[in-house]
Amino acid sequence: MDLAGIRQNTAAVVASLRERGLRLVAVTKGCLGDGRVAQAMLDGGAAAIADTRDANLRRLRAALPGVELHRIYLPPLSDDFESGDVTYISSLEGARAVAARAPAGGRRRLVLMLETGDYREGMIEQGLEQVAHAVTGDPRLELAGVATNYACFQGGADGIRDSVEAVAAAARRLRARGWDTPSVSAGNSSVLALVRAGERLPPEVTELRCGEALLLGQDALLYQPLPGCRQDACTLRVEVLEGYTKPASGATARRLVLGVGLQDVGSGALRFVEPGIRDLGRSSDYLVAGIDAGGADVGPGDHVDMVPSYTALVAAWTSPFVEVRFV
């Protein structure tokens, strides 16, 4: 993990958003809420830090006292949880769960999640007013804004613009009915595909929540490099355990057995830094790679570097068999 690369990527994204009057909330769930990574993001200009897991939020609070923390994971109804300074909810039950855990005499800030085509978390538009009314009527709660999430579950590239427009329209309607929504979060790193293309975002939008763009230097919709960003800030280095030759199939004759498998990187994509090496498949403990004719001359005991996709990065960071090193 190259912290200078994280700072550079964050600064580049912050600059592109600042031109549009937006702020960046940096997401650290891809690195288990690591305080060093979060600090690099803050150094790059992020205004706040967001995460999904209780343990991560506790870790961040201990490492970065005073930093604004967002819980971007729906609160459970059956157990205690870390609410952060801002908590995202999608139901009346969620609002009540947060209110029940508010400190005596204090208030919890809530952001209402709107469903805009990803078909994951978020309430339909008709439910917003009911929840907004409940939140503003409870002295333990404060309505901080409205948000959406897209391109994490089923949302495709053709709907990203509609998603952004929908959350902006919802904010306008809430404001027209007398509810203040100071924060309008239009989504995650997928929205940066629109920013990179030079498209204007609705004026209601105030911020984005980005993690993948800061860690990997790409948007999360088309997976294209972002201007001024590095794509090698996170590198997975794996040892070659065996090298052998199989009867040629196509252009691949030589194969390598690498010491990483599904339990370490899941099914996430991996891009080899050395040209001519390809991922042929994985079992639970091993990855089999093919070397094209004229490709790298590597064998047992050597190491090869790969750039993980966001899915692979999250899996690798949570694997007890992968060591994280900072440079």
Domain count of the fold of the chain: 2
pLDDT per residue as tens digits for the range 200-252: 999 999 999 999 999 999 999 999 999 999 999 999 999 999 998 766 555 55
Assess whether 265 and 116 both reside in one domain: no
pLDDT per residue as tens digits for the range 118-165: 999 999 988 999 999 999 999 999 999 999 999 999 999 999 999 999
Q: What is the mean pLDDT of residues 77-93?
A: 95
Q: What is the CATH number of the domain that holds 244?
A: 2.40.37.20
Q: Which helix (H) or strand (E) holds 188?
A: none
Assess whether 147 and 52 both reside in one domain: yes
185 domain residue, yes or no: yes
246 domain residue, yes or no: yes
Sign of CA dihedral 274, 266, 209, 115: positive
| Structure tokens given for 248 | 């040629």
Assess whether 68 and 130 both reside in one domain: yes
d(CA 311, CA 318): 11
Domain boundary, last residue among 216, 250, 265: 216
Query: For position 294, what pLDDT does the model report?
Result: 81
230 domain residue, yes or no: no
Assess whether 144 and 280 both reside in one domain: no
pLDDT per residue as tens digits for the range 153-197: 999 999 999 999 999 999 999 999 999 999 999 999 999 999 999
d(CA 311, CA 265): 8
State yes or no: pLDDT of 53 exceeds 80.
yes
Query: For position 250, what pLDDT does the model report?
Result: 57
Query: For position 296, what pLDDT does the model report?
Result: 84
pTM score: 0.95
203 domain residue, yes or no: yes
Assess whether 205 and 240 both reside in one domain: no
| Enclosing domain of residue 269 | 236-318
pLDDT per residue as tens digits for the range 241-290: 999 876 655 555 789 999 999 999 999 999 999 999 999 999 999 999 99
Query: For position 249, what pLDDT does the model report?
Result: 58
The two beta strands, 303-308 and 270-272, are antiparallel
d(CA 316, CA 320): 8
Query: For position 254, what pLDDT does the model report?
Result: 87
Assess whether 59 and 100 both reside in one domain: yes
E-assigned strands of the chain? 23-27, 48-51, 69-71, 86-89, 108-114, 141-148, 183-185, 207-210, 236-249, 252-258, 270-272, 277-282, 287-292, 303-308
326 domain residue, yes or no: no
Q: What is the mean pLDDT of residues 303-323?
A: 96
Assess whether 13 and 158 both reside in one domain: yes
Average pLDDT, the chain: 95
Assess whether 28 and 86 both reside in one domain: yes
Assess whether 23 and 104 both reside in one domain: yes
How far apart are the two ends of the chain, measured CA to CA in Å?
6
Assess whether 182 and 294 both reside in one domain: no
